[in-house]
Amino acid sequence: MSTTPSRGMWSSRAGFILAAAGSAVGLGNIWGFPTQVGQGGGAAFVVVYLACILLICAPIMAGEIALGRRTRLSPVGSFAALAPGTRWWLAGGLGVLAGVGILSFYSVIAGWAVAYVWFTATGAVTGSPEDIGRFFAEFTGNGVLSAGLALFVIVTTAAVLLGGVRAGIERVTKALMPLLVLLMIGLAVRAVTLPGAGAGLAYYLSPDLTRLADITVFTSALGQAFFSLSLGMGCILTYGSYFPRQDGIASSALWIVALDTSIALLAGFIIFPVGFSIAGFDPTTSGPGLIFTVLPRLFAELPGGQLFGGGFFLLLSVAALTSTISLLEVPVSHCVDALRWSRTKAVCAVAALIFVLSIPSALGNGAVALFTAVPGFGIGFLDLMVNAWNEFALPIGGCLTAIFIGRIWGVGGALDELRAEGAWFPAPALWTFLIRWICPAAIALILLVTLASML
């Protein structure tokens, strides 16, 4: 298979792991995961989430990398190359759309994180939990400000992408991710020793199994698992297309899954103990503001809190940036590969489109709930976007990817790629069973029951 001339290559397997982990680790772990745990009822959600990661997402992760490396193409091209003359390229097309859609709301939240670097470092957001909550409501109530911050995130992302694959992405990730993990460990240690933290830990760690009767726990855990691992839209596939042939896929995939999941779990060990140390805290009602209203409370209590707070939101912003880079990369490389656009033209056009689409999310949070007249839609536009892309588009994309790998490309071809050059690949029979049966069936079942429950 020929390689597109503009395609770079990771310098090493470690380079790929860092870049893919940079894609995976982001707002999904630190903002999304605690928010979803809060809405999904605590530890029961965590159990379902971990099951989705192990049984559904990890096998698909290996499959996506293999698909990208086999074809050395972006999603639409990959599906088309292995199933010529069919409509399978549409599965890649869904991924391109999802990249644009997710980035349209992701850039808004990332913009908030950037603003909170300033707010926490200057001590603008401190005081009682009520003050901090009011501050967040007023800040996000200003939709024009949120849109401006989203624009800043999108322009920064576009600028990094124009710097090229390796130089742009690898360097940033390598330097700062370990620092984020260290800071989070320190914050978690402080959080679990706060008075009242025990209630938070109980909420987070001891599952109320009656929650498992609620299908929305499964839908949101599945969507969150795909979102956090950057799966189901050809993002990891695209990164896999730059992966050297002589390196092992399975071990890389497992590293990324382990790292991403550990960081999400760590975020929970900060948010819930701090949250429950605040009188009257209710994790179910906090929504997208959860981390922005809980964390400043921790920083307000901590000696040197302005420094730690500013540092935390700065590292979170960088983690978000390595994720937005990977999200923008999918539609951009599609335009380069399929439409033969120059990289510069593709980056500018796609970034402009995403900014326009981000405006409703920037305006539609907090005060402005759109479609309030339609039953079930009395939520912010932002929540609507999160639900539509994470809980439907990504699992559908993942389901199609699993069917494609298991039955169209075929497990034989996929296993050849996964075990190329004698690479370590554990339990091929188990992987085959998961990718052919469990992944498609479990995703389809969860989506169908969800749809049925909405009628």
User: Which spans of this chain sit near ligand TRP (rule: CB under 6 A)?
Assistant: 23-24, 26-29, 102, 227-228, 230, 233, 235, 323, 326-327, 394
Question: Which two tokens mark 161?
Answer: 């992408």
Closest CA to 280 of 292, 268, 265, 293: 293
Closest CA to 19 of 260, 175, 235, 239: 239
The residue (of 393 and 446) whose beta carbon lies closer to ligand TRP is 393
Question: Which two tokens mark 426?
Answer: 């554990």
Calculate the alpha carbon distances from 445 to 160, 227, 255, 270 in Å: 40, 19, 28, 33
Beta carbons within 8 Å of 306's beta carbon, 6+ residues apart: 120, 121, 122, 123, 299
**What is the smallest separation between the CB atom of 104 and ligand TRP, expressed in angstroms?**
12
User: Residues in the chain, how many?
Assistant: 455
The residue (of 44 and 169) whose beta carbon lies closer to ligand TRP is 169
Residue type at 102 in one-letter notation: I
The residue (of 300 and 405) whose beta carbon lies closer to ligand TRP is 405
CB-based closest residue to ligand TRP: 28
> What is the Cα–Cα distance from 249 to 230, expressed in whole angstroms?
16
**What is the smallest separation between the CB atom of 327 and ligand TRP, expressed in angstroms?**
4
The residue (of 27 and 73) whose beta carbon lies closer to ligand TRP is 27
**What is the smallest separation between the CB atom of 271 and ligand TRP, expressed in angstroms?**
15
Dihedral angle, C-alpha 175, 113, 225, 387, nearest 10 °: -150
Q: Are 146 and 107 in contact (CB under 8 A)?
A: no
Dihedral angle, C-alpha 257, 259, 262, 266, nearest 10 °: -140
The residue (of 100 and 327) whose beta carbon lies closer to ligand TRP is 327
**What is the smallest separation between the CB atom of 97 and ligand TRP, expressed in angstroms?**
12
The residue (of 28 and 111) whose beta carbon lies closer to ligand TRP is 28
**What is the smallest separation between the CB atom of 222 and ligand TRP, expressed in angstroms?**
13
**What is the smallest separation between the CB atom of 32 and ligand TRP, expressed in angstroms?**
6
Closest CA to 70 of 408, 391, 362: 408
